[in-house]
Amino acid sequence: MSRVIVRIPTPLRSYTGGADEVEVEAATVGDALQALAHRHEGLLPRVCAEDGSLRPFVNIYVGSDNVRDLGGLAAPLPRDGAVLAIVPAVAGGAGGARERRIAELKASIPEIDPREAFALQAQGAALIDVREADEIAQGSPRDAVRIGRGFLELRVEEAIPDTERALLVMCGGGVRSLFAAEGLKRLGYRKVASVAGGFSRWKAEGLPFETPRGLDAHARERYARHLAMPEVGEAGQRRLLDSRVLLVGAGGLGSPAALYLAAAGVGTLGIVDHDIVDRSNLQRQILHNDERIGQPKVDSARRTLQGLNPAVKIATYAERLSSANVERILEGYEVVVDGSDNFPTRYLVNDACVRLQIPCVHGSVYRFEGQVTVFWPRCPARRGPCYRCLYPEPPPAEFAPSCADAGVLGVLPGVVGLLEAVETIKLLLGLGDPLVGRLLHYDALRARFDEYRLSARPDCELCAEGRAFPGYVDYEAFCATAV
């Protein structure tokens, strides 16, 4: 047996994954072709006829000698390192090779008409639109899986993990879909077909389609790393752009949360804070700077966030939350991020979120320790507690001094605020496992995270099943009675 280098001509390289040379072990020319065929399915019929003879438009050379002059496919291979070159007839232009390649694909990839594809899609088949974003912006079949041809092999397994599911591949006119279907078959998908005529024929036959709201060039550039993630993609980014999140507090926790939510493209950020910027804030409240001392925090926050991402709408509420205004302010928001630093506000925000059925992402810090959880008693995935389930009554003052009294490591709110931002984005996109029923505790001195399980109290006066909302209370007085 000799080690042989087989040179692959350009028209056949699609069968070898683009390789222009393949090394095999063989004793004869015919053995070398069989070894090549064993490794690269579909190649041998392009070189040999059904009876095993060389096709008349193909020559094979050992070194500089045509094998037809050496005895044909039975010709022995002389030594290790021999070079076997497959040389088919070419016309000098690309057209002939392209047409032959398309004909080969049509012979191996089933084609169906758009109406049949529409019926199969209704029965559970996945319709994959492999056109580019600018084409899809002009219209795409409803409920199609949209993955551009250039990323298809990289992303399809995330979108469609079941290799037994029927896949219907569509492009603009029915040619690119053939190449895409071949790539899907190589990935192991067993039931793959190409939609003949592509979207042009689909539209001409009056089948339903939609015009997805796309991202402009600036948005595509800004959110490119999100678009590259199958879990987010263009649909997820549009979801973020349509989202509304309220931040309670523009301080140590609200600052990092707001910055990263704005950077992520959350379309509307509401910020409620009645305070003004003080120099002592600047050690941790990174929305603000020295030039803005004395300004309302909500105005300072707006300037910073719009400078970071002008496309985000910033709604500000320069007022103290109270029982009288809390529902007016929270109404219409999908998630509330609680970055408050006092118990009256925390209880008020919790009660309003329970009443309005809004998930509340909660964070708190103390010196070197932080906590993050999600209070959402009506979570579809599992019943979680509210803040009152965890703490039916506020602690006395000596157990929970303010940051002004106890101090806080300046970077600690950054860690906790970022975790709040992560949980918020997960909730907006429906990703992963949110911290519902779980409390994440961070000890900065030990560089350690611990997780604690939280349970809803079945007799909670606020969120127990079937319990009517008891109404808001005087939260300052409620917290002042703690002993």
For position 469, which CATH number holds?
3.40.50.720
The packing angle between helices 233-241 and 412-429, to 10°, is 110
326 and 387 in one domain? yes
> Has residue 223 been placed in a domain?
no
Q: Which of 188, 210, 232 is the last residue of a domain?
A: 210
Residue 481 CA to its chain's centroid (Å): 48
The mean per-residue pLDDT over the stretch 254-268 comes to 97
Task: Note whether 442 and 317 are same-domain residues.
Answer: yes
The residues annotated with a catalytic role in the active site are 403
Residue 266, helix vs strand vs coil: coil
Residue 369 shares a structural domain with residue 431: yes
CATH code of residue 51? 3.10.20.30
- How many angstroms separate the Cα of 178 from the Cα of each of 109, 118, 160, 187, 253? 7, 18, 19, 15, 52
Instruction: Write the pLDDT tens digit of every residue in 163-181.
Output: 999 999 999 999 999 999 9
Give the chain's domain count.
3
Instruction: Quote the domain boundaries for residue 198.
Output: 99-210
Query: Domain check: are 379 and 260 in the same one?
Result: yes
Q: How confident is the model at residue 477 (pLDDT cuts 50, 70, 90)?
A: confident
Question: Domain for residue 217, yes or no?
Answer: no
Residue 226 domain-assigned? no
Any domain includes 228? no
The per-residue pLDDT for 139 is: 92
Identify whether 455 is part of a domain.
yes
pLDDT in tens, 383-397: 899 999 998 888 765
Interval 304-323: pLDDT, tens:
999 999 999 999 999 999 99
In a 13 Å sphere around the CA of 222, the CA atoms on its Cβ side amount to 18
Is the same domain home to 149 and 127?
yes
pLDDT confidence band for 78 (50 / 70 / 90): confident
- Domain presence at residue 120: yes
Span 368-417, pLDDT tens digits: 999 999 999 988 878 899 999 998 888 765 555 556 666 789 999 999 99
Residues 432 and 324 in one domain: yes
Whether residue 215 is predicted with pLDDT greater than 90 in this model: the reply is no
Span 312-338, average pLDDT: 96
User: Rounded to whole angstroms, how far apart are CA atoms 34 and 19?
Assistant: 17
Question: What kind and span of H or E run contains 257?
Answer: helix 254-264
Residues 6+ apart with CB under 8 A from 160: 126, 128, 145, 167, 189
Mean pLDDT for the chain overall: 91
Residue 305 and residue 438 in one domain: yes
Residue-level pLDDT at 401: 59
Domain boundary among 189, 210, 231: 210
